[in-house]
Amino acid sequence: MDTDARPTGRKLTRKGRETRQRIVAAAAELMYERGIAEATLEEVRAAAGVSGSQIYHYFADKQALLLAVIDFQTQAVLDMHQPQFSRLDTMAGLRQWRDMHVEYHRRLQYRGGCPIGSLGGEVAETNPEARLAVAAGLVRWEAALRDGLQAMHDRGELDADPEDLALAMLAALQGGLLLMQIQRRVKPLEAALDTVLDHVQSRIRSS
């Protein structure tokens, strides 16, 4: 979705982009906290401090706003993790990535889960367009994990398929976050990430 475009396809002014971003950020927070179905456009309007006509100026309907929220949440997650991505080409860096996730969600008291995964769970069986948007976001995340593993493989250190390992890491993270959210304890996330990283460690060639 073109983040600088109106439903008409025309580019936005700086003020227009700021207003649109405020609407999307408010919708993202409400959908994350309350769920997509429960977050109404009226609540988004009030939270963003805009009029109803302004929402429809930027978004044709709630579906268009949802797609913008998926893009917003994907970019927010990737931006938050960006400092870690450049260090995922060593086991030490991978362990630090694991620790970052555990500590971050411990501070949140195990609530909320993954913003991208939570959206995916809501739309997977009911909204094909949104499901594909979430899938595309997760592919971007998987690619960022794969880059570090690929660097290890290219150096001759890793004796395994980086693509499969990146997918397993993302699956472990998403599954661990879901169980953590349900059980309200960090152990599922720790166990999932430790197990997949122990497997990566086992495929490191001895020097």
Per-residue model confidence (pLDDT) at position 206: 79
pLDDT digits (tens, 9 = 90+) for 67-122: 999 999 999 999 988 888 889 999 999 999 999 999 999 998 888 889 999 999 99
**Mean pLDDT for the chain?**
92
**Interatomic CA distance for residues 106 and 185, integer angstroms:** 8
**What six digits make up the tokens of 78?**
């990737």
Residue 5: is its pLDDT beyond 90? no
Per-residue model confidence (pLDDT) at position 9: 55
Question: Which residues, other chains included, contact 80 with Cβ-Cβ below 8 Å and sequence gap of 6+?
Answer: none
CB 26 within 8 A of CB 19: no
Per-residue model confidence (pLDDT) at position 2: 45
State the sign of the Cα–Cα–Cα–Cα dihedral 105, 110, 111, 113.
Answer: positive
Over pLDDT 90: what percentage of the chain?
84
Over pLDDT 70: what percentage of the chain?
95
Residue 4: is its pLDDT beyond 80? no
Per-residue model confidence (pLDDT) at position 6: 57
Span of 6-15, 133-142, 173-182 with lowest mean pLDDT: 6-15
Residue 1: is its pLDDT beyond 50? no
pLDDT digits (tens, 9 = 90+) for 7-45: 655 677 889 899 999 999 999 999 999 999 999 999 999
